[in-house]
């Protein structure tokens, strides 16, 4: 049996662009598929399944014999071959991202790992959302920043504030690292630590800055005292202060001018953080206050850049709002380099499997008598849920990853982007360091057209043939 996984749609909210980032297979592979089953595991599973069905439904049919067989014959490793695209591949919807194959007695276990492997939807969705936000920020930088998207500031313009909104530490690692493919700003330290020491040989991949939060601001006798303390501690570098603990307008209009000279004497860069109210209005208020208190310079593209002061909006940010806020900032005459964004739940929580409609489907079987059959799902009332038939391969055609039938003879082994990462036991995989992956994703993303036909002519012909056979079989 053979099954494969694909994203059936582009990222929601980007209707004219079907690009996405495939990411997360390594974590699942190393933390779950590399695990060796034991007979004790099987006995516990057997006990569980014996009680899982309602009494009237009979006994849950769990293939205990097959699990015991591979434990004894395959050292406890799950008997499946897994092929996958390179981690961080930039592709379009409908390109197969992994393929599972099982053989012999173990063939019925082909889709047993479906639920687990399907979970690549989560880091892939976060990576794609983060990249789409970067697209909007790059466009604003090209318009309003002297060095455009080549500015070293761009990598810090979307900061991960999502740790507290996650369901657990593991989710924070998966989603937080996916975001770090596109940006280097993160307060999700679990992800930054994992990326640095597990994925990048100890070299750092993320950063943050000293910042107050409301407990700090309200614990001091006054907001001015709290900010003066921050300036004393961190005023010669980057630091951020939340400004809405009591009265945001008063904090900008009275407290900020009161600490201005202290801040100027220290010489650092102060970032104002609104955290309530209308996000666009709050950002513009902060920019106007920064201009009034510290002054601005007008860059070569005609946009204002506050001197030694900027704004980060970390409340209520989502993809659509980020784009509209950037438009408002530029319309008000300010450069995009003066504004950064923080995303929390909107980055790591407000995605789901339907965000890019991930699915794993059986595509090929060989019956006990040796007869092969390509199979597919093709519901007439939901064509978008149709799957692909046959054993599949993926190769680049004019730079675009494109799906082919593996038996077409059109894809040489060295061209196939579906590469073996597990074969009934762990195999040696030369994973890119995270910094290399980050550069590759950036290059691939910009090289990929926003839309492309990703099914080869031979695959389209196989789909047509398979559909005809299926419809005939249904009426026989």
In sequence order, the 6+-apart residues with CB closer than 8 A to the CB of 135 are none
Q: Does residue 382 sit within a domain? A: yes
85/198 same-domain check = no
129/156 same-domain check = yes
Q: Which of 316, 348, 380 is the last residue of a domain?
A: 348
CATH assignment at residue 387: 3.20.140.10
378/268 same-domain check = no
Q: Does residue 60 sit within a domain? A: no
Q: Does residue 410 sit within a domain? A: yes
Domain tally, the chain: 2
> Quick one: pLDDT at residue 168?
95
264/381 same-domain check = no
Q: Is residue 214 a contact partner of residue 315, using CB atoms and an 8 Å limit? A: no
> Quick one: pLDDT at residue 13?
62
284/258 same-domain check = yes
Q: Find the domain containing 404 and state its range.
A: 2-36+77-119+357-475
Q: Does residue 184 sit within a domain? A: yes
DSSP H or E stretch at residue 158: strand 158-160
Give the residue ranges of the annotated binding site: 164, 187, 214, 273-275, 314-315, 345, 353
Residue in this structure with the two tokens 């630590």, named with its chain if needed: 193
Q: Does residue 431 sit within a domain? A: yes
Q: Which of 318, 348, 378 is the last residue of a domain?
A: 348
Cα separation of 70 and 78, whole Å? Answer: 7
∠ CA 276-278-282, rounded to 5°: 75
Q: Which of 305, 325, 348 is the last residue of a domain?
A: 348
> Quick one: pLDDT at residue 14?
65
Give the β-pairing of 238-242 and 269-273: parallel
327/408 same-domain check = no
- Its sign, for the CA torsion 274, 277, 280, 286, is negative
Q: Does residue 65 sit within a domain? A: no
228/94 same-domain check = no
CATH assignment at residue 139: 3.20.20.70
Those residues of the chain that have pLDDT short of 70 are: 13-14, 382, 475-476
Burial 56-77 (b: 16+ CB within 10 A, else e): eeeeeeeeeebbeebbeeeebb
110/152 same-domain check = no
**Terminal C-alpha separation, the chain:** 24
Give the residue ranges of the annotated binding site for diphosphate: 164, 214, 273
Q: Does residue 47 sit within a domain? A: no
Give the residue ranges of the annotated binding site for beta-nicotinamide D-ribonucleotide: 187, 273-275, 314-315, 345, 353
**Cα-atom radius of gyration of the chain, to the nearest Å?**
26
């Amino acid at each position: 049996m053979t099954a494969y996984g694909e994203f059936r749609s582009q990222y929601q909210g980007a209707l004219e662009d079907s690009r996405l980032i495939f990411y997360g297979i390594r974590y699942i592979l190393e933390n779950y598929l590399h695990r060796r089953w034991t007979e004790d595991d099987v006995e516990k599973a057997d006990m569980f399944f014996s009680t899982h069905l309602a009494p009237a439904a009979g006994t849950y049919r769990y293939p205990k014999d097959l699990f015991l067989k591979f434990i004894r014959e395959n050292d406890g490793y799950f008997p499946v071959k897994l092929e996958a695209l390179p981690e961080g591949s930039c592709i379009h919807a409908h390109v197969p991202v992994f393929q599972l194959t099982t053989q012999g007695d173990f063939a019925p276990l082909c889709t047993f790992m479906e639920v687990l492997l399907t979970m690549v939807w989560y880091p892939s969705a976060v990576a794609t959302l983060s990249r789409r936000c970067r697209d909007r920020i790059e466009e604003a930088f090209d318009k309003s920043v002297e060095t455009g998207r080549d500015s070293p500031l761009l990598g810090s313009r979307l900061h991960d504030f999502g740790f507290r909104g996650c369901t657990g530490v593991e989710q924070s690692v998966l989603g937080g690292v996916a975001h770090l493919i596109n940006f280097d700003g993160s307060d999700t330290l679990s992800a930054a630590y994992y990326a640095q020491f597990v994925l990048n040989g100890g070299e750092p991949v993320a950063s943050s800055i000293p910042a107050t939060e409301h407990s700090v601001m309200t614990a001091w006798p006054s907001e001015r005292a709290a900010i003066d303390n921050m300036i004393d501690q961190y005023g010669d570098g980057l630091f951020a202060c939340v400004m809405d603990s009591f009265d945001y307008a008063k904090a900008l209009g009275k407290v900020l001018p009161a600490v201005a000279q202290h801040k100027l004497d220290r010489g650092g860069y102060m970032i104002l953080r609104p955290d309530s109210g209308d996000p666009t209005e709050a950002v513009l208020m902060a920019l106007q206050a920064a201009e009034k208190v510290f002054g601005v310079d007008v860059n070569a593209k005609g946009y204002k850049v506050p001197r030694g002061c900027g704004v980060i909006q970390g409340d209520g940010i989502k993809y659509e709002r980020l784009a509209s806020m950037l438009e408002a900032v530029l319309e008000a005459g300010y450069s995009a380099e003066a504004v950064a964004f923080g995303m929390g739940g909107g980055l790591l929580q407000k995605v789901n499997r339907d965000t890019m409609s991930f699915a794993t489907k059986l595509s090929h079987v060989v019956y006990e008598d040796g007869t092969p059959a390509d199979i597919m799902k093709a519901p007439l009332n939901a064509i978008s849920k149709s799957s692909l038939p046959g054993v599949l391969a993926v190769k680049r055609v004019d730079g675009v990853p494109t799906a082919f039938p593996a038996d077409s003879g059109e894809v040489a082994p060295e061209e196939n982007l579906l590469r073996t990462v597990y074969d009934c036991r762990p195999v040696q995989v030369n994973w890119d360091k995270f910094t290399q992956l980050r550069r590759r994703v950036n290059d691939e993303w910009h090289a990929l057209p926003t839309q492309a036909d990703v099914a080869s002519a031979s695959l389209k012909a196989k789909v047509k043939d398979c559909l005809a056979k299926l419809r005939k079989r249904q009426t026989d």
